[in-house]
Amino acid sequence: MAYVVDRRLNSKNKSLVNRQRFLKRYHEQIREAVSDAVSRRNITDMQRGDSITIPKRDISEPVFRHGQGGQRDIVHPGNKEFVQGDRIQRPPAGGGGGSGSGEASDSGEGEDDFVFQISQAEFLEYLFEDLALPNMVKRQLAGSDAFETHRAGFSEVGNPNQINIVRTMRSAQARRIALSGKARRRRREVLAELAEENDEEESKLNEAERLALEEELSRLNFRLNTVPFLDDFDLKYNLHIRVPKPSPKAVMFCVMDVSGSMTQDIKETAKRFFFLLYLFLQKNYEQIEVVFIRHHTQAQEVDEETFFYSRETGGTVVSSALSLMSDIIHERYSPDEWNIYGAQASDGDNWQEDNQRCHKALVDGILPHVQYFTYIEIGDRDPQGLWHLYQHLERDYADRFAIQRVRDNSEIYPVFRELFKKTMVID
Amino acid sequence: MNKNYLSTSSEWTFETIAAYDREIARIARDKFRLDTYPNQIEIIRSDQMMDAYASIGMPVFYNHWSYGKHFVNVEQNYSRGRMGLAYEIVINSNPCIAYLMEENTLTMQALVIAHACYGHNSFFKGNYLFRNWTDAEAIVDYLLFAKNYIAECEERYGVQAVELLLDSCHALMNYGVDRYKRPVPISAAKEALRQQEREQYIQQHINDLWRTLPPRLHVDEQREIPKFPVESQENILYFIEKNAPLLEGWQREIVRIVRKVAQYFYPQRQTQVMNEGWATFWHYTILNELYDEGLVNEGFMMEFLTSHTNVVMQPDFDSRYYSGINPYALGFAMMKDIRRICQEPTDEDKRWFPDIAGSDWITTLDQVMRNYRDESFILQFMSPKIMREFHFFALQDDDRRNVIDVTAIHNDEGYRLLRETLSQQYNLSSQEPDIQVESVNIRGDRSLTLYHHMHNRRPLSNDCYEMLRHVHRLWGYDVHLHSVETDGRRVRSYHLQEGRE
């Protein structure tokens, strides 16, 4: 008779350790696959988990086995037209694997890729591994309305549902011992004396003494009975306090040139960059707002759809966007409360006379307030005026200003890594 | 006939599973005289089944990345619907543990109980390889010991060091079994007790072997230095465990653990066709018996037969589903055929199988199950009828010729050759390269020499450089591997020396 056991409630993930070890061992390959995926994928499904593909030969476990060659005798099922003595042309090398039959599929399989799934969290983990947001100085938020409840010892007052029974009983016992210990001891003595008296044939005590003892006994009993088991001031309550929780908030400004020279391709590249930054911030901050500012000769704040897909023509005045950003920071995102990140993408065009104003807008209105400001120039033309200007700024504000050039989609991820690679904070 | 169905629904409950188990046990024991270990049936979820897959079915197993690799692969294929999970996993232990998936319908649970808990179980208990080479009483305890020991080593010496060692041991796992010498039964309790003692003893033993200042060096020089080892050793891992000069005690213990596990699985690798054939034959026979007794209805039988037919399907060699001979199909067909030969022998059967034709089929099958492994089973019992059913044909692929010869087909002339060739196909020692420890240069550079004894001039695959690196990691000094023809000629040599290939 079998013994049937229900194991369905047993813990799952018995293989978790082994899986982690596998991932760790093929860390490099997985990271490569992730980085490939980023340049290939659509932006909308960038943050999905992914199937990771590793060439099978990289992870095969070797054993001693026979190679091609020599003489092999094999039996197969399903003969149809062969008769003894038939000769079959050997299939061309490679495809058939030499055996000219079903075995081929076995040996052919060796070159397949090993594919498996990683979760979204793991994907992001690999994606942003070794990257850090510079200057992640968390500002404690005054007037923040998020609270966390912490235990903070015990209190004499509180709600009945917060009574700490152990503490309460302990203090009740201490009180009872303190108040009745002496009386209890005396009562034991009196009882012993009386018992002794009753046992003896001949009374040792006279009647008056005996009455006095009995008198004392009843007094002691009365006294002991008045000590309550539990008194009001025995009650102890768990104390919880609410501490304001710093809820790190970040705002990300996406600034993009939409003048005639920005083609859809360049915008697509910029979008990838913005999106990566968004994901990265999301990993570090709980709450993120995004502000889209587009500009040609004038700047305006728009929604995401308009930002990426509507077309405009005209010249380019970058300072308009920078001033707008500075104004928005001033109005809505007080640097005391918000961690501010700026990302600007452009093909590098700017109206020559505007560079000076850009410089001023950045230095006065933006750089003092932001955590980090990045600029990417897309395209393979020679650096334009804006680039030279920003190069100066990068030297002066090395801790919070970084610029990079990008030619196409495939370079976005490496450049992104370059911008955010973990460095020591420079004061 | 009385119809007294055990169930009519396809949803299982613990009560119905118990009811089926009771009936199946009765039929297996009383009607068919199957002798089994007690059963422990465990119901698990599909993700637990994947976990079980990843640790080669064992309830406890030590950690290693390769099981993680196996796991992610199974997970990927299963979640993409590319592969179904097995309905059961059964472990050769006492009590015999069988995992049933909760997704199975009641019919499938009954099939699996008959297949695993009475088919495989009786095979584990009866077959001579399992009886001699594995210890069903101790395996779970031993694995627990192994898991704890390896976890402790990881803590003490680092995960990395243990992992590298296990990689090398796993690579040599197939060369960690004694093919002829019967191993001492393992017991976890004794194992733990004796482990330290062994550690010390071995260390002394090896120090002696590698004595750097032999006291009578001047005398020895005159004499022929005896070859070490005196005879070639086929169990490479055993040889390394006992003789590798640089391994520390814990490393030897881990080599030993891998060796013991390999030894435990060795019978399974040699009896795949028989084991699956036996279990399939019995689930088929027992469930039909249930039907004949009026305990299950037609719906049950339809579902069972659909599943059974899928399991024993054998695609032809030119089908896109072909991936070699299906052990379930061949094993089941042969077991059924033996029963037929016993019950309704033809003249042909009487010619080929005079001893069993017309005998009691239950006794005969029992004898077959107890005393054979795949190779000898096929050589002895594959009948001409099976050959014709499968349309077997034999090919000879010789790299000295530019055509492949059809050497035999399923006719009378081809029978003997087909039977022999097919049997060789299940002979592990001719399927795996025959590699043995030939000698150690004990008075020189301590290098280890392995001989690959070639069979039909078949060379080693390119993996072998990688493999030499693993042997080298365990041995610690240079390793040489020579492919040797039967006449002693060295055909090819592979070397791996410290720092270069």
The top-scoring range by mean pLDDT among A151-160, A177-186, B225-234, B377-386 is B377-386
Nearest to A18 among B39, B54, B411 (CB): B54
* Percentage of residues in chain A having pLDDT higher than 70: 86
| pLDDT band at residue B10 under the 50/70/90 scheme | confident
Say yes or no for a CB contact (<8 Å) between A15 and B395: no
The per-residue pLDDT for range A22-69, each reduced to its tens digit, is 888 888 888 888 888 777 766 666 666 667 787 777 778 888 988 888
HEC string of B77-92 equals: HHHCCCCCCCCEEEEC
Q: What is the pTM of this model?
A: 0.74
Quick one: tokens of B390?
């499968």
Mean pLDDT, range B114-122, rounded to an integer:
94
Question: Is A402's pLDDT higher than 80?
Answer: yes
Q: Is the pLDDT of residue B182 over 70?
A: no
What proportion of chain A, given as a percentage, has pLDDT over 90? 5
Comparing A145-149, B141-145, B434-438, B466-470, the range with the smallest average pLDDT is A145-149
* Mean pLDDT for all residues in chain A: 79
Residue B149 has pLDDT above 90, yes or no: yes
Q: Compute how many other C-beta atoms are within 10 angstroms of the C-beta atom of residue B66.
A: 18
Write out the E strands in A205-304.
237-244, 249-257, 287-295, 299-302
Amino acid in the structure at residue B156: R
User: Tell me: the pLDDT tens digits for B184-218?
Assistant: 555 666 667 777 677 767 666 665 556 555 555 45
CB contact under 8 A, B411 and A84: yes
The CATH class, in words, for A249-420 is alpha beta
pLDDT tier at B127, thresholds 50, 70, 90: very high
CA distances from B132 to B56, B66, B120, B237 (A): 22, 29, 17, 20
> What's the pLDDT band for A426 if we cut at 50, 70, 90?
very low
Picking from A419, A421, A389, A397, the residue whose alpha carbon sits closest to that of residue A406 is A419
Q: What is the tens place of the pLDDT at every residue in A240-271?
A: 888 776 667 788 898 888 877 777 788 888 88
Q: Given a cut of 70, is residue A71 above it in pLDDT?
A: yes
Q: Test A74 with B314 for CB contact under 8 angstroms.
A: no
Contact A4, B43 (CB under 8 A): yes
Contact A73 B95 (CB under 8 A): no
The secondary structure of residue A160, as a DSSP letter, is G
Residue A332 contacts B where some CB pair is shorter than 8 Å: no
The distance in angstroms from the start CA to the end CA of chain A is 75
* Stronger pLDDT, B202 or B282, i.e. the higher one: B282
Confidence band for A105, pLDDT divided at 50, 70 and 90: very low
Mean pLDDT over each residue of chain B, to the nearest integer: 87
Q: What is the pLDDT of residue B395?
A: 92
Q: Closest Cα of chain B to A64: distance in Å? A: 6
Section A329-350 average pLDDT: 84
* Measured CA distances, A286 to A122, A220, A278, A289 (Å): 18, 66, 12, 10
User: Which residues on A lie below 8 Å from B421 (Cβ)?
Assistant: 73-75
Q: pLDDT value at position A134?
A: 67
Taking the alpha carbons at both ends of chain B, their separation in whole angstroms is: 76
Check residue A49 and give its pLDDT.
Answer: 64
- What SS3 state is found at B485? coil
A contacts of B18 (beta carbons < 8 Å): 2, 4
Could you tell me the pLDDT band of residue A210, with boundaries at 50, 70 and 90?
confident
Q: Is the separation of the CB atoms in A358 and A318 below 8 Å?
A: yes
Q: Closest Cα partner for B175 from B234, B109, B131?
A: B234
Whether B167 and A61 lie within 8 Å, measured CB to CB: yes
Question: B91 contacts in A (CB within 8 Å)?
Answer: none
Residue B335 pLDDT class (50, 70, 90 cuts): very high
Delimit the domains of chain A by residue range. Answer: 17-58+111-127, 160-239, 249-420
Instruction: Say which residues have a Cβ less than 8 Å from residue B20's Cβ, sequence separation at least 6.
Output: B6, B7, B106, B109, B110, B113
- Residue B45 or A140, more confident: B45
Of B40, B400, B413, the CB nearest to A5: B40
Express each pLDDT in B366-379 by its tens digit: 999 999 999 999 99
Residue A110: the pLDDT is: 39
Span B415-433, mean pLDDT? 90
| Residue B223 Cα, gap to closest chain A Cα (Å) | 37
Worst-scoring range by mean pLDDT, A169-183, A196-210, B149-163?
A196-210
- pLDDT bracket for residue B301 (50, 70, 90): very high
A345-391 residue pLDDT tens: 888 777 778 888 888 888 888 888 888 888 888 887 777 778 888 88
- How confident is the model at residue B328, as a pLDDT? 93
Instruction: Give the mean pLDDT of B406-418.
Output: 92
pLDDT at residue A101, rounded to an integer:
38
Q: Which residue has the higher pLDDT, B141 or B81?
A: B141
Q: Which of B39, B170, B404, B484 to mutate to test the interface with A (most CBs of A within 10 A)?
A: B404
Which of B32, B42, B56 minimizes the C-alpha distance to B283? B32
Asked if the model's pLDDT at residue A109 lies above 50, the reply is no
Q: Report the pLDDT averaged over residues B409-422.
A: 92
- What are the backbone angles phi and psi of residue B482, rounded to the nearest 5°? -120, 135
Q: Which of B66, B318, B421 sits opposite A61 (nearest CB)?
A: B66
Q: Closest by alpha carbon to A59, among B112, B73, B457, B274?
A: B73
A89 touches chain B (CB under 8 A): yes
Residue B498 confidence (pLDDT) above 80: no
Contact B406 A84 (CB under 8 A): yes
Question: How much is the ipTM here?
Answer: 0.83
Q: Is the pLDDT of residue B361 over 50?
A: yes
Task: Please name the member of A59, A78, A102 whose beta carbon is closest to the beta carbon of B323.
Answer: A102
Would you list the DSSP string of A306-354? HHHH----S---HHHHHHHHHHHHHHH--TTT-EEEEEEEE-S---GGG
Mean pLDDT for the stretch of residues B2-29: 87
- Specify the amino acid at residue B302: M
Asked if the model's pLDDT at residue A108 lies above 50, the reply is no
**Contact with chain B for residue A226, Cβ under 8 A:** no
Lookup result for tokens 């090919």: B395
Task: Give the pLDDT band of residue A199 (cuts 50, 70, 90).
Answer: confident
For B29, nearest residue in chain A (alpha carbons)? A1
pLDDT at res. A427: 39
